[in-house]
A and B are shown apart, each in its own frame.
Chain A
Amino acid sequence: MINIQGLTILFESFKITDLNINIEEGEFHFLLGPTGSGKTLILESIMGLRKPHQGRIWIGEKEVQNLPPEQREISYVPQDLALFPHLRVKENVLYGIRARNLNLKLYEKYIDDLIEVMRIGHLLERYPANLSGGEKKRVALLRALGPKPKLLLLDEPLSGLDLSIKIEIQHLLKTLHSSFRPTTLCVTHDFEEAYFLGDGITICIDGRVEQVGRRNDVFRRPKSRKVAQFLGAKNLYKAKVLGREESLQRVILGVNGLQFYIPKSLSQETFELGTEVHLFIRPEEVMIIREGKSVKDSLKQNIFEGKILDTIDRGGYHMVYFETTEGKIRFEISIPNYAFRNLDLSIGKMVRVALREESLWVIP
């Protein structure tokens, strides 16, 4: 297990205070934060290139914050990969095993398996200059995993790649992780990447940990407006607690004169009547109801009528901009292309939307 406690880094204009991260063995953990939030500084401190102001780091039972990088058993894949250009792919891959004077024989099978999963068998004799972007990434990952590190650090592993290669590497990372289970800490600003690959996620904004949790919790239940906004929350509204239905365990929120019914268990705290809060719903959780179709009981509480203002084809899905007739609340709704066609949606069309109670979330 990796345990980072109270890590504080002060460097030029960056200030990262009291960072705590726990990573279980074999976990793919993401440190997610906006660009320029000092994520690389955090990685450099963990691997020992930079002395943090404060903080302790345990790798298993070993406390490592005072050890030089070569004694920490942490492998690092930087954003620019830094493949050694004067060494062939094979020599790059074996670099860690040789540097640590490990017995190559004991690693042969493991390395061969890695080479097979990464599909770089045909590249071993080449120099990095003769590899494509995707091939370079694969070699860099393999080089890092070669000496079986206790922790693998990835710095924005999918940045700067064409979409098709990005998807390929993303799937490869997933396969790699499920086959070899390296304990991994990956920093990125791309929440889709974190959502696709991450088991656990730590969100760090302005040098502070804003939220730690399993990926679904973080994405659907952001703890603060800051997190919600960073995660690209589109439908975030100022609301007021209007009442409580104790018997039904529900809270009633008012937004622009409209009422939303929310299960009590879904708000983080018990808010007093009249408290100002924020109501959040992800664009993919808003349902457009097909005309003439009966609606499930769980959807009946929060149904609103309104007009479609605009639609945008985003390639893989459609974005629909909807405004309620009463209260003029705007929703961004993302729906799959087939649903978009089936519903025969067009600008100006009057429709009804339903919000599942469980998909709503209240933020202070």
Chain B
Amino acid sequence: MGFRYTMIGAALCIFIFYLGLIFSLFYFVGGKGFWEALANPYTLFSIRLSLFAATIATCFAVIIGLPSAYALSRFEFPGKRILDTFLEIPIIMSPIALGASFLVFFNTPLGEFIQHKGIFFVFEVPGIILAQFASIAGLATRLMKASLDEISPRYEAVARSLGSSPWKAFCGITLPLSFKGLLASVVLSWAKAVGEFGATVTLAGAMPGKTETMPIAVFTAIASANIEKAIVLILILVAFGLFTLYAIRLTGKRYRYD
């Protein structure tokens, strides 16, 4: 039994560790500064901005990630392994380095051309979306690929033998069958986008009321010793996080079709 208790004990330690961390935040909750910080227009702006940017970034990640995930899951093609490995770039690369790479890119002739003829990214809201997209696209693709991998390609094979085009088989069979898994991937990617800090702050800066997302606002609040504001924002981030986990739990339940 010693073995069993050691293992379960370790699991409990992790649980208590995180729970303690969250509970410690409540030490400062309820003071006058706390409610002021919550009602502060800049705080509300950063919440809105975070949700907006993360949602747009997630949409782009799905638009490009879902077909990519399908290709990686179902087809063999030259360079597939390299492509698959590259999905991990944002994971192995420091977020600051990722953001800095964008700054460098927008100083190349091509980057300057894009900025002058198209959209401004550096120190602008599109920069936030781009930075968040860059940090979640690989993850979203990887997670969606895992969901598609779970669905046997034979369903599509049968659907096609019965007369469905590849598009029809994908939309009518594979997509509904993997929907729960895909949804969980999207929710998780969105949560990661909401929490993105390093790349965002490097590319879009930290201008309150303009490019200050929630994690950036936490950082600036701490830097200026505004503990109450920081805690308000952290609690909101934690709430979003817990909501996300709950949503994934819901989607994680296997649908039994009965």
Contact = CB atoms under 8 A, between A and B. Distances in A.
Contact of A47 (B161, B164, B256): B161
Contacts of A48: 160
Interface in B206-258: 255-258
Interface string B134-176: 0000000000000000001011011111111110100001001
Nearest to A88: B257
Which interface residue of B154, B165, B168 has the most chain A CB atoms within 10 A?
B154
A80 B256 CA distance: 18
Contacts of B255: 86
A19 B159 CA distance: 26
A349 to B, nearest CB: 54
A80 B257 contact: no
Contacts of A69: 157, 160-161
Nearest to A73: B163
A74 interface: yes
Contacts of B159: 84, 95, 99
Interface stretch (A1-9, A123-131, A210-218, A249-257): A123-131
A48 to B, nearest CB: 8
A153 B154 CA distance: 14
A130 B166 CA distance: 28
Contacts of A112: none
B177 interface: yes
Given A70-B165, A80-B154, A86 B257 contact: yes
Contacts of A149: 161
Contact of B160 (A70, A85, A86, A146): A70
Given A85-B177, A130-B258, A99 B164 contact: yes
Contact of B161 (A75, A80, A84): A75
A190 B13 CA distance: 56
Nearest to B158: A82
A76 B161 CA distance: 6
A70 B172 CA distance: 15
A84 B155 contact: yes
B73 to A, nearest CB: 15
Interface residues of A, number: 32
Interface in A71-94: 72, 74-78, 80, 82, 84-86
Given A82-B155, A84-B173, A143 B162 contact: yes
A104 interface: no
Nearest to B168: A99
Contacts of A82: 152, 154-155, 157-158
A198 interface: no
Contacts of A70: 160-165
A96 B163 contact: yes
A127 B257 CA distance: 6
Contacts of B164: 70, 99
Contact of A80 (B152, B163, B165): B152
A68 B157 CA distance: 11
A146 B161 CA distance: 12
Interface string B80-98: 0000000000000000000
B163 A100 contact: yes
A147 B163 contact: yes
Contacts of A44: 157
B182 to A, nearest CB: 14
Contacts of B256: 129
Nearest to A100: B163
A44 B161 CA distance: 10
Nearest to B161: A76
Given A68-B160, A99-B168, A127 B177 contact: no
Contact of B258 (A77, A127, A144): A127
Interface string A125-163: 001111000000000000110110100010000000000
Contacts of A95: 159, 162
A85 B159 CA distance: 13
Interface string A13-57: 000000000000000000000000000000010011100000000
A4 B215 CA distance: 64
B258 A49 contact: no
Contacts of A84: 155, 158-159, 173, 177
> Sorted from nearest, which 3 A-B pairs have the closest CB atoms?
A96-B162, A100-B163, A99-B163
Given A69-B161, A95-B162, 6 more contacts: A47-B157, A69-B157, A85-B177, A146-B162, A147-B163, A149-B161
12 contacts: A48-B160, A49-B160, A69-B157, A70-B162, A76-B158, A78-B157, A78-B158, A80-B154, A82-B158, A99-B159, A99-B168, A147-B162
Interface of A: 44, 47-49, 68-70, 72, 74-78, 80, 82, 84-86, 95-96, 99-100, 127-130, 143-144, 146-147, 149, 153
